[in-house]
Amino acid sequence: MTLTNIARSAGLPALAVTILVSGCAANNDTSLYQWDAYQPQVYEYFKGKTAPDAQIDALEKALQQIQSKNGNPPPGFHAHLGMLYASVGKGDQALQEFGEEKRLFPESSAYMDFLMKKPK
């Protein structure tokens, strides 16, 4: 085997690795879900320092922003919003949000059904 053949045979795997790595490193700014204000609001909920009405407002604004960008709210977004509505006595809106969570994420059906059966 000549030196040229050795270089070629060693270069092919190196080239393949380079192509694979560069393909994985492509800058893709589109995410499956837009998490914007959701995670901070859940954190605020557990800290208990922000009133539910303020959290509802923040999540409603975040939902409008997500929808204006043709984005998708993350799993749990509507369920959390529904829980907030339920905590301030807005049962109809809570049920609507639970239904939306169930529609968007069918895997949450059992839990959403459980929450929808709870007394208001």
Per domain, the residue ranges of the chain are 38-117
Give the CA distances from residue 9 to residues 18, 22, 36, 110, in Å, rounded to whole numbers and listed in that order: 15, 21, 48, 56
108: number of Cβ within 10 Å: 18
Which pLDDT value is given to residue 93?
A: 96
pTM for this predicted structure: 0.70
CATH 1.25.40 matches 38-117:
yes
pLDDT at 24: 55
For every residue of 13-80, DSSP letters joined together read HHHHHHHHHHHHT------SS--TTHHHHHHHHHHT-S-HHHHHHHHHHHHHHHHHTT--PPTTHHHH
Average confidence (pLDDT) per 10 residues, the chain, 120 residues: 55 57 54 76 82 93 92 94 95 96 96 85
Neighbouring residues of 102: CB distance < 8 A, sequence distance ≥ 6: 108, 109, 112, 113
